[in-house]
């Protein structure tokens, strides 16, 4: 082998060896990945996310994907001659819209199954109806009835444990049943968070369309790599956090307070952001961690 | 208790006791139920079918439901501004149609899950993509390319065994992947038959919109209750069988020749036809059985 | 099928469906049946009891039968040239009598095994000696030594769990050993109650020769269908309960206070009383239930 | 410790060490012990047999006891005012006699359970009815109907495997059911032999009232310690074997030909004959062994 | 068989029967044997110890051997041209000495494996490095650095449970790693004691070169057979204990206070001392027992 | 993150993704690594080999290390005042030498355990004595007795399966016992080959001090990346192979003919050669593969 070639090849080995402590650390731990945003639309990014999650599975982690339906739902609502309506950022979900949402979300799940199985790993897509996974109640938006939008009241993780035990990669779409067994749509971030808490996940990773959390949203140089749950609370109290980040940061804090060790807000627009976050010492995005966790990424 | 009351109550007990030998005989045996036709459209019949299958599950059987999408697919094809096309009785399935079919079928599966769980039993709906259950190749209709219509080349039943072991009621929609991981629609009868063979089911039951097999289709009094696989072959050879019954009877014979003990063609328009067939000595429809099976129903 | 026939057949299906919620509710729960009285003497009733218990087994319950020896013991005592002696309602049990009692009780157990196995279910009859199930001490009747009559000091339920796990229907006769490993006869009601407590049975059912508990024993119309454990205590306190019912009601209360969810005093003279009690909403006899249990039979 | 004491104590250790290779050789192997004759009547010998079998259990063997009822049956037949009748050495067993035999045999089983449990080991006594262990058909004595005397047509050893797995010492009395579920008495030697074959026992040991097999029954010095199955056949062919030994030797050969490695005819009148046979190199009685087995006892 | 012979043989049986209650009592219990001293040097005694431990294994106990290296280490230190140095009775262990000690100890372990396997039992020898069994820190001798001599800070018994579950006889040499993964020698008595505590052994037996504990070391007739942990503490307080016995007695008390039921100081110079201690009622040496244990040996 | 940084980081991700198909392909497969030569002497290379094997373990492979003692044995032979003697390339192994070899090899094994455990993975080092792993007979060198040099006659892989099941990384040194339980040294290549065959390893990798197999040993450009077993046989027949490669190539062919899928002769002097061979498409050294295996590395 030529010398140049050899050097290049050696570098590869070192990347693999660099991953060793992370593989060892997270072996057989559950990682819930909220999959959405650009990473779900761009075909190339999509492929990368699936490769990342499949690799995690193969090296001994136990990933669970929770996905939304992205722009597909609106597309089909329109195709059916209706018009999407949003109230305070939440989709008004009448019966016809719910029907479409359920069809679209389940099909998205199956398309992810296809991609995983192309890589030789067994997957299964379910909704929160299967095995009674997600129980919900109607969610009101500032007092207004916005239809079949649910908030989770109970998670029964048995089906997830069963599927993980049988070595499947579970892919979950955020639909649940209420006590009358009516079908409800659920915010995918909320579903990912509730599931991560129910299975006491080691990690919860949100694939988003932002770079991470900024100390000062005006200053692009103020991206925070790591912050403890207490620092996150202070940040919230500072009033500097706004827009879509506010509920997300609240979710992160909620997850940490309820047994999840580490939550990651990743920039899903970066290829292999998930892998890089977990396997290298260059963090991508922002990590929120429990008080007892030690900062060890991103130095 | 009043005497009249008492007599009525006793009769109830006797019905339960009458079921005893059937429960004992089929305990822990797999029953594949092809669910379609009227029983899928009429809300009352639907409820009855689900009650029947759930009861089978609870008393120790291992049912697997395989369902079609019925008229829902055409409804949504039209809603999306397209027109359903059939060639030799098979739906021409271009990419857009396949997309709709997949959405509809998965949603039908989830609606069946909902009904089963209302009765307190855990169900899970999957498609042939999950766990690599159904592998297909393109099916040509008399040499014509009719799009994403597949015929099954391989069944990997592991996912079904896993779900049964974990005590779920599996509900399967007939969609599969080919070697290029493209999505294909599959005839639900074929899928039910292939699955029954792969899991060596004790029984395969088709819920249909006919009364059963007639010796002479012109003579409504010539309904056959039970026939052996050889008698079925003779009947086919006689040329008296036609229309939709021909492929179905061929499926039945195929199933029996490949390890399924008994195939039932049931009249799905009769409430609780499934339960009555299995638990009483009054048969509903026609049973085809292996040469070594003894006729014991329907005397 | 003729219409009349059809209607009749449909009714059958509905009886089975009516059983669904009860099967679901009691699935894999242990039911201890104290079997004695007329139901043990009348051959027709005997057959019905065995059918009932076997059906319970087959549909997923875990029944345990505890039986007495009824009139057989006295018959054999006389046959052997001795005379049965009773002191305060308890059989004076000298060594010779104990020998006969043990022989008779074990044979009764085996005859029940035979009946169960005729229905295709595996059974096993044991006594309290096997696996060290029942430990006793001598019981005195108002200070009098009445021989080998024991009261239970300890139940080691391991043998029952082992047999249930291996899918047998256990049939127990009420004989135990004291610390010197001498053989003692035990009251069958007491044995059933002690076993039900030890295995934390869902239900304990006494097959008796009475209709149930009366509010006023003089008034045949005052039969009580359901009463809570507190109501039962009040009834006892009222002084209205007498005769054989007094110790039985005390046993019921004891069982409920120690973890059994529901105790039934059934009229064993009614065919299939056990089945009717469990699978229909027409209660037979009287049910005593814990404070937290909701009355749902017998409305 | 004094020197004399020490020497004595050392000898003890050597006895234990001498047992080492036998324990190692037979570890987790099944030994069927046919228990009958004097060893069942003499209280001291009885105690010794039970100690022996219990020790075998504790050091890792899996013993199964098969016992007869000895003189107890005749005693109770007489006590009940009947007279025991024997035809060609087989007890004429009418219904009344069968009833008594069943009672007596089961009680004998329970008394053995008691003795084993006194030594701290869990035992369970069953009959061939339990778990469908022994299926029989009527046996005719030289063409004559002698009542409920059965010969074994089928052994279902599942119950024995279940009990051994759960660490019980199974004690079996030789009663079985025919196809009509009628109760039959079985010769205990035959039952032991059939069970040994069904569980592919390593050893089958008969406790008898003779010293063993003689080359020449007239010559008390011609006792044979070990003979191969072929030598046993030759001995039979020689015509020198007679009386009760003939069927026993036939049973031994039958057992060896069907998978039992070694059959022992032991002199049950010698205390601890079972232990001595297995744990020392001084054989007691006669061993019959398969052609491939090497003689290693008794040199 | 001759009468004299018979009597002798019977005596053997009685020795085996005498062992019965001890086998029953200690069945499946863990016994840690500290093996050292003369019993390790004399080839005949060595063979006896291995026979004893193997017999314990075969009759259902779970023995673990912890051994030292005896005079072998010094021999090899000298052979390598160095001189053994002892400071306050502890071997000064520089790097070269540690290297030799590790080589010698592991080879001793393998030689014990060989002896056990000659008897037909599977053994495995490990050091405290394997599976992270023993974690240590540097031990100072009265403030002095004496090199790689460690004291145990943590025991991870998983490897021992794994090996016992897989039916191996584990043989451990007292070497461990510190936090920097440097190799340390450990006192074998300390290692045995730490392991016994970590696995909550039923018994811990020290094979020593003394007869046991004396009430008065000057008086050879004052050997104590059994003393409770409180009596042992009093003895220590009395100041009568000295020399090598002092740390050993402290270890015994420590073990008892931390969950070991019984500790034995045995005279390893007596053949089969281990077996005699456990299986006969003549105790060898001194037993220290918890307050709740009843004295039952040595009467 | 800066752009340059980003690019570099992305490259890392791609290296990990590149490993995906190999991880998937070899998941849960056994890989036997013969560890020796320079890779065992150079401290840096040693660290790399251990990192590689540990990574293989963590990502789901089941590696087993078989190691020699390298120059350590000779060093200690000399230190003890003896002189190493080699006959036809085999070490003359008298009793004293064998003693040293055993000490050295076991210590080497423990030092590898230490290195693996530093990386957070549980290891255990054994010799062929433990669990009766390797049985040998004396090996003669061209008819000459060269002492305790053994050739393997039997491998009992149970201990390896047990340790793999319990998630240990087994490290084996090539020492075995003959039928008289004498200790023998074994050639490490032979031991690795015999073990690979016994466990039906997916891969057997030899770490050597050569680049691989040359078509023409004179021509350094004729290194062969992959050759089928038949091509390997032809190469042998060509007479072009000589020196130390000849027995090694014979071993490779033997392994392939007996169920090992692929054998690798790797250049142990290249850092991470093991990892590179398995995880990248740049092969290091030469692979010999079964006829049915497809060449897929090294294009």
pLDDT tens digits along E92-113: 999 999 999 999 999 999 999 9
Helix (H, G, I), strand (E, B) or coil at F177: strand
Helix (H, G, I), strand (E, B) or coil at B135: strand
Q: Radius of gyration (Cα) for chain E, nearest Å?
A: 20
Give the separation between CA B70 and CA D244, rounded to whole angstroms: 77
Give the separation between CA A42 and CA A38, rounded to whole angstroms: 6
User: Residue B110 is nearest to which of A106, A122, A162, comparing CB atoms?
Assistant: A106
Question: Is A262 a residue whose pLDDT tops 60?
Answer: yes
- A130 and B110 within 8 Å at the Cβ level: the answer is yes
Which pLDDT score, from 0 to 100, does residue A97 have? 95
User: Residue B12 is nearest to which of C15, C20, C24, comparing CB atoms?
Assistant: C15
Question: Is F1 a residue whose pLDDT tops 70?
Answer: no
Which pLDDT score, from 0 to 100, does residue D291 have? 76
F106 to chain E, closest Cα gap in Å: 6
Question: Is A298 a residue whose pLDDT tops 60?
Answer: no
- A132 and B117 within 8 Å at the Cβ level: the answer is yes
User: Residue C15 is nearest to which of B16, B52, B60, comparing CB atoms?
Assistant: B16
In tens, the pLDDT along C21-37 reads 888 888 899 999 999 98
In tens, the pLDDT along C212-256 reads 888 888 888 888 989 999 999 999 888 888 777 888 899 999 999
User: Residue E58 is nearest to which of D27, D52, D271, comparing CB atoms?
Assistant: D27
Instruction: For residue A123, give the chain B residue with the closest CA.
Output: B131
Which pLDDT score, from 0 to 100, does residue F192 have? 97
Tell me which DSSP letter residue A93 carries.
Answer: B
Q: In angstroms, what CA-CA distances link D71 with D74, D149, D282, F164?
A: 6, 17, 31, 58
- E106 and F110 within 8 Å at the Cβ level: the answer is yes
Give the separation between CA F128 and CA F112, rounded to whole angstroms: 16
Question: Is E222 a residue whose pLDDT tops 50?
Answer: yes
Transcribe D112-178 into DSSP letters.
HHHHHHHTT--EEEEETTGGG-EEEEEEEETTEEEEEEEEEEEE-THHHHHHHHTT-EEEEE-EEE-
Closest CA to D148 of D183, D119, D118: D183
The pTM of the full predicted model, rounded to 2 decimals, is 0.90
In tens, the pLDDT along A46-69 reads 999 999 999 999 999 999 999 998
Residues of chain F with C-beta less than 8 angstroms from the C-beta of E123: 130-131
- B124 and A131 within 8 Å at the Cβ level: the answer is yes
The band of E299, judged by pLDDT with boundaries at 50, 70 and 90, is very low
The band of E259, judged by pLDDT with boundaries at 50, 70 and 90, is very high
Q: How far is CA F51 from the centre of its chain?
A: 15
- E17 and D270 within 8 Å at the Cβ level: the answer is no
Which pLDDT score, from 0 to 100, does residue B297 have? 46
**Residue B70 labeled ligand binder:** yes
Q: In angstroms, what CA-CA distances link C192 with B255, C29, D139, E226?
A: 50, 16, 40, 46
Residues of chain A with C-beta less than 8 angstroms from the C-beta of F11: 15
Enter the CATH code of domain C26-201.
Answer: 3.40.1160.10
Q: Average pLDDT across each block of 10 residues of chain B; the chain has 299 residues. List them in order.
A: 69 85 90 93 92 93 93 90 84 93 97 96 98 97 92 98 98 98 96 97 94 86 90 89 82 94 93 86 82 57
A105 to chain B, closest Cα gap in Å: 8
Which pLDDT score, from 0 to 100, does residue A193 have? 97
> Given 3.90.1150.10, 1.20.950.20, 3.40.1160.10, 3.40.718.10, which CATH number is that of B62-187?
3.40.1160.10
Which pLDDT score, from 0 to 100, does residue D282 have? 64
Q: Say which range, C9-13, C149-153, E34-38, has the weakest mean pLDDT.
A: C9-13
Closest CA to F104 of F86, F134, F79, F81: F79
F134 to chain E, closest Cα gap in Å: 12
Enter the CATH code of domain C208-299.
Answer: 3.40.1160.10
In tens, the pLDDT along B93-140 reads 999 999 999 999 999 999 999 999 999 999 999 999 999 999 999 999
CB A135 within 8 A of CB A153: yes
Which pLDDT score, from 0 to 100, does residue C4 have? 65
- E117 and F181 within 8 Å at the Cβ level: the answer is yes
Asked whether D and F share 3 or more beta-carbon pairs under 8 angstroms, the answer is: no
Which pLDDT score, from 0 to 100, does residue E297 have? 46
CB D45 within 8 A of CB D11: no
Instruction: For residue D176, give the chain C residue with the closest CA.
Output: C114
- A103 and B106 within 8 Å at the Cβ level: the answer is yes
Length of chain E in residues, anyone?
Answer: 299
Instruction: For residue E48, give the chain D residue with the closest CA.
Output: D17
Spell out the residues 6+ positions from residue F19 whose beta carbon is closer than 8 angstroms to its own.
A16, A55, F59, F279, F280
Length of chain D in residues, anyone?
Answer: 299
The chains in contact with chain C, meaning 3 or more Cβ pairs closer than 8 Å, are B, D
Beta bridge partners of F125: F171
Alpha helices in E61-145 (DSSP H): 71-79, 95-118
Which pLDDT score, from 0 to 100, does residue B77 have? 92
Q: How far is CA A99 from the centre of its chain?
A: 24
In tens, the pLDDT along D87-116 reads 877 889 999 999 999 999 999 999 999 999
CATH topology of domain A204-299: Carbamate kinase (3.40.1160)
Give the separation between CA E110 and CA C296, rounded to whole angstroms: 70
Q: In angstroms, what CA-CA distances link F24 with A27, B95, D68, F172, F174?
A: 16, 31, 62, 27, 31
The band of F183, judged by pLDDT with boundaries at 50, 70 and 90, is very high
D219 to chain C, closest Cα gap in Å: 44
In tens, the pLDDT along F84-128 reads 888 877 889 999 999 999 999 999 999 999 999 999 999 999 999
Q: 3-state SS string over F29-76?
A: CEEEEEECCHHHHCHHHHHHHHHHHHHHHHCCCEEEEEECCCHHHHHH
In chain A, which residues fall in CATH 3.40.1160.10? 27-51+62-201, 204-299
Q: State the complex-level ipTM.
A: 0.93
Instruction: For residue C47, give the chain B residue with the closest CA.
Output: B17
Residue pairs between chains B and C whose CB atoms are closer than 8 Å = 114
In chain C, which residues fall in CATH 3.40.1160.10? 26-201, 208-299
**Residue C268 labeled ligand binder:** no
Residues of C with CB under 8 A from a CB of B: 1, 5-6, 9-21, 23-25, 27, 48, 51-52, 54-55, 58-60, 119-121, 270-272, 275-276, 279-280, 282, 284
- B24 and C280 within 8 Å at the Cβ level: the answer is no
User: How many Cβ atoms sit within 10 Å of the Cβ of residue C189?
Assistant: 22
The list of chain D residues with pLDDT below 70 reads 1-5, 281-282, 293-299
F270 to chain E, closest Cα gap in Å: 26
Which pLDDT score, from 0 to 100, does residue A46 have? 93
In tens, the pLDDT along F196-207 reads 999 999 999 999
Q: Angle CA(E236)–CA(E240)–CA(E246) in degrees, nearest 5?
A: 50
User: Residue E113 is nearest to which of F76, F124, F129, comparing CB atoms?
Assistant: F129
A177 to chain F, closest Cα gap in Å: 37
- E16 and D21 within 8 Å at the Cβ level: the answer is no
Helix (H, G, I), strand (E, B) or coil at B244: coil
In tens, the pLDDT along F212-246 reads 888 888 888 888 989 999 999 999 888 888 777 88
Closest CA to D160 of D205, D125, D109, D136: D125
User: Residue B114 is nearest to which of A81, A122, A181, comparing CB atoms?
Assistant: A181
Q: A88 or B299: which carries more pLDDT confidence?
A: A88
F277 to chain A, closest Cα gap in Å: 10
Question: Is A94 a residue whose pLDDT tops 60?
Answer: yes
The band of A240, judged by pLDDT with boundaries at 50, 70 and 90, is confident
The chains in contact with chain B, meaning 3 or more Cβ pairs closer than 8 Å, are A, C
CATH architecture observed for domain A27-51+62-201 = 3-Layer(aba) Sandwich (3.40)
User: Residue B280 is nearest to which of C12, C25, C284, comparing CB atoms?
Assistant: C12
In tens, the pLDDT along A23-39 reads 888 889 999 999 998 89
Which pLDDT score, from 0 to 100, does residue F3 have? 65
Give the separation between CA D223 and CA C140, rounded to whole angstroms: 57
């Amino acid at each position: 082998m030529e010398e140049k070639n050899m050097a290049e090849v050696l570098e590869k080995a070192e990347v693999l060896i660099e991953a060793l402590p992370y593989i060892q650390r997270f072996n057989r731990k559950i990682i819930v990945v909220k999959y959405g945003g650009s990473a779900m639309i761009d075909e190339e990014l999509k492929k990368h996310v699936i490769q990342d999650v499949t690799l995690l599975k193969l090296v001994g982690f136990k990933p669970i994907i929770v996905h939304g339906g992205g722009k597909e739902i609106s597309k089909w609502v329109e195709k059916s001659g209706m018009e999407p309506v949003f109230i305070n950022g939440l989709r008004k979900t009448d019966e016809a819209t719910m029907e479409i949402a359920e069809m679209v979300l389940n099909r998205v799940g199956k398309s992810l199954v296809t991609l995983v199985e192309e890589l030789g790993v067994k997957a299964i897509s379910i909704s929160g109806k299967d095995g009674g996974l997600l129980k919900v109640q109607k969610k009101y938006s500032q007092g207004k009835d916005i239809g079949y939008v649910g908030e989770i009241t109970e998670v029964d993780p048995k089906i997830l444990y069963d599927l993980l035990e049988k070595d499947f990669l579970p892919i979950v779409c955020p639909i649940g049943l209420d006590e009358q067994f009516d079908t409800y749509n659920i915010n995918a971030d909320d579903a990912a968070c509730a599931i991560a808490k129910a299975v006491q996940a080691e990690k919860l990773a949100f694939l988003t369309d932002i770079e991470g959390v900024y100390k000062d949203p005006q200053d692009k140089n103020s991206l925070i790599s790591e912050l403890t749950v207490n620092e996150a609370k202070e940040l919230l109290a500072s009033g500097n956090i706004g827009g879509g980040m506010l509920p997300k940061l609240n979710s992160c804090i909620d997850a940490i307070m309820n047994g999840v060790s580490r939550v990651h807000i990743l920039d899903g627009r970066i290829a292999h952001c998930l892998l890089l976050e977990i396997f290298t010492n260059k963090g991508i995005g922002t990590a929120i961690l429990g008080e007892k966790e030690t900062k060890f990424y991103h130095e």
